[in-house]
Amino acid sequence: MTDVLNVEDLRQVFGVLLDMVEERFGAEIDLSGVGVDLYWNVDLATAFDLRDLPESGIDVGQCSDDVAELHALLRRPADHVPVLWHDLQHLAGVLRLLAYLDLPAGNASES
């Protein structure tokens, strides 16, 4: 069924795609060499409320902050409960960066 998001399927997709990222970019990506850090972001409430134009919900995200937040998540005590909506947004920022880095040459500035 296409209207169901199966977490195990999602886990497998992450594995496949992360394997491809590692093959293409290596096990570590030096963010100082990618040439971008800031990006346009649409806050969650605005992104999923299509009744109004999104201008007021557009802000700036930062790749280096996203990576720092994910590192902080890994250092938290085992009994710490992540703030899912917050931590997933940082993960989404990193995933968008990886997608951006994989754009065909010449298309990165056009997207």
Q: What is the pLDDT of residues 53-69, one digit of tens each?
A: 888 899 999 999 999 99
Residue 109 within a domain: no
CA dihedral for 21, 62, 47, 108, sign (positive or negative): negative
| Total residue length of the chain | 111
- 108 domain-assigned: no
The domain of 41 spans: 33-101
**pTM > 0.85: yes or no:** yes
Give the pLDDT score at 110. 52
Could you give the number of structural domains in the chain?
1
Q: For the ranges 7-11, 28-32, 53-57, 90-94, which has the lowest average pLDDT?
A: 53-57
Sequence-distant (≥ 6) Cβ neighbours of residue 43 within 8 angstroms: 57, 58, 59
The answer to the question of residue 80 being in a domain is yes
Which pair of structure tokens corresponds to residue 39? 């990006």
Contact, 90 vs 70, CB < 8 A? yes
Q: With respect to residue 64, please indicate whether it lies within any of the assigned structural domains.
A: yes
> What mean pLDDT comes out for the span 14-19?
98
Contacts of 13 (CB under 8 A, 6+ apart): none
